[in-house]
Structure 1
């Protein structure tokens, strides 16, 4: 643990050293086929699109409190609907890039939640509860 404020250059150097994803990128480029690289880029595009759309939903919800006094009206509902449509599109695209059907995702999640409910572990955190 540090004692005192971190300097900007020191922080940048630490980040550079911890950026191990760069090795993964180099390994992908050095030893993968064009098809493998294309597959990874498709997954990257779909997954980052999903994250972006989910962020846009969160931003709309934030603005309900900040700009609309916590009131959900028809205009806000319409805007959130549009963003949720983007989430649905990218969720489906991400599933497809992993050779999954959206039904597979929903069935897996349903079974997982029913199991957690049966074991009384809906509360808490962690993937393996």
Structure 2
């Protein structure tokens, strides 16, 4: 499956674009689901002493899927292609790597 196929599939389960506050709902949903990923890892650090063999990969897979849904749906709401976003991101990172600024800070390096 390519990313735009996923994005179209995610859109079939999204609320209508004209639903009141839908953009805000999508942004807050993305933040919330990202927080759930972080929460899983916080508990892994606290309860499992950061033992990588004890990461609950099934749980993380579900949470990352939720993050992916929100990214795809938010991008679609803004008329952005997930394939284009991914392609542009890899090009940006390759450019930073080639210029030796991959590990730096700031958006425009």
How high is the TM-score relative to the length of structure 2? 0.76
Cα shift readout 1:41-72 (whole Å, capped 9, x = no counterpart): 22211111111111000010111110122124
Higher RCO (C-alpha under 8 Å, 6+ residues apart): 2
CA contact (8 A) 1:95 1:102 kept: yes
Unaligned 5+ runs, structure 2: 1-17
**DSSP 3-state at the match of 2:68:** helix
Structure 2 equivalent of residue 61 of structure 1: 41
Distance 2:55 2:106 in 1: 36
Aligned length: 92
Q: Structure 1 residue 75: deviation in Å?
A: 6.7
Pair 1:98-2:78 in alignment: yes
Of Structure 1 and Structure 2, the greater helix share is in: 1
Unaligned 5+ runs, structure 1: 1-37
Aligned CA-pair RMSD: 1.8
How high is the TM-score relative to the length of structure 1? 0.65
Distance 2:92 2:35 in 1: 25
Q: Structure 1 residue 114: deviation in Å?
A: 0.7
Q: Structure 1 residue 120: deviation in Å?
A: 0.8
Structure exhibiting the larger radius of gyration computed from Cα positions: 1
CA contact (8 A) 2:30 2:71 kept: yes
